[in-house]
Structure formats: C-alpha cells, structure tokens
Amino acid sequence: MPQKLSQKSEAEKAVDIVRDAGGKIVGRTRLQKIAYVFELAGVGEGFSFTYHNFGPYSDELTDAMQDASLLGLIDEKEKPSSWDGYYSVFTSTGKSKASATKVRAKIAEQIVDADAVELELAATAAYLATKNFADPWSETTVRKPIKATPKRLANAKQLYQALRQIHTPKRLPSI
C-alpha cells in the first residue's frame, strides 16, 4: 500500500524559515527578505512575492506567520523601535521538526545579522533584476533615494555578492 506523503502547512513552512535562520529573526522586513532569497535561490517554501514599499513582499508569508503564531509554532513579540514604531521578533518554539538544508543555513547565516536597510536594498535590486530592469541598482536608488546612500549601496552590493558565492540550486541573478 503506498504511503501517504504529508505536506507541510503554510504555517509550518513559515516556521521553517525562522528555524533555518537560527531560530530567531528580528524584523518583519528581514523575515520577508530571507524568504525571498530562499525562493530566488531555489530553496524556498513556494511563497509568491510582489514589489512593495520595502522591496519583495509576500502576503502569503505574512498570513502564514500569523497562523503559526496562533498555533503556537512561533513566538512573535512586538517591541518599540527607535523610530517611534514597532518591530517584531520571531522565535521558533521548537514544536516542529528541523528542516534546514546546508544551502538554506548558509544563506540565512549571511542575512540574519546583515543591516536591515542594506538587505532591503540588495533584495530589491535582485527582485528588479528578475523583472528585467536594465540596471537594477540604479532603479533601486530611484525607488529608495533616502535609504540608498553610497555607503549602504556599496554594502548591499557586497552582501549580494556574498550570497551569489553560495552554491544554490538556482543561481541568483547577476547584477
């Protein structure tokens, strides 16, 4: 009798992203960008992304994280920020099995402690490259003029090049 393959729920897929990033992700933007780079590299969970104010964004991932929190698979704490807003800290609760592949772990290692704005710039440029913009970095600067300072852009490019050095099933676009 054939075995029934169990499929992960969207919530479980979202939890795997946090777990594969070391069990903790600080910031919703960082969560989105880690998931986006996983997708771009061919090791994602199947979440779809569109362009948003902070670069590539997935409504599906946001919904899945809310579900994971309600199910007790993830702990989300909102904390006050220095910019008079709030940010989230996502921590896996350990109630689901580990899933990290070496590739996902290497990608997450590069991203998890990266500057959030530089990560946003790098992910935005990568997203724009997939949409056939001739010069994704210039377009990123146009879309994010306040964030895209020369120093941040240089660091974002360096971060992106480090990510491209990781051998992934699907090569990240050359930009």
Position 97 pLDDT exceeds 60? no
CA distance 141 to 158: 16
Give the Cα separation of 168 and 56 in Å (integer). Answer: 20
Distances (CA, A) of 154 to 90, 102, 118, 122, 134: 28, 27, 9, 10, 19
Q: Name the least confident of 1-5, 150-154, 164-168.
A: 1-5
Indicate the pTM of the whole model: 0.90
Beta carbons of 107 and 38 less than 8 angstroms apart: yes
Neighbours of 152 (CB within 10 A): 17
